[in-house]
Structure 1
Amino acid sequence: VCKDELDVFQRVLGMTLASLPFWFLLSGYEVSTGGLPSSSQVFQCFIVAVSSGLIATVLFFFATDLVKDDPQKLATVEATQSGEVLFALVGELILLSAPIPSSLSWIGMSLVIVGMILHSYVAVVVKKEEKIT
Structure 2
Amino acid sequence: MFKIVQEEILTNKKSGVLTCFFMINYRCGRYLYLFRKKSKYSKWLLFIPYVLCLFLAKLMSSYIGGSLPFFASVGKNLRLPHGLSGVFISGLATIGNDCTILHQVTIGSNLGRNKKHMPALKLEIMFL
Question: Comparing both structures, which one devotes a greater share of its residues to helix?
Answer: 1
- Greater per-residue strand proportion: 2
Name which one, 1 or 2, has greater alpha-carbon Rg: 1
TM-score range, shorter chain: 0.3 to 0.5
Please report the TM-score for the alignment, with normalisation by the length of structure 1.
0.32
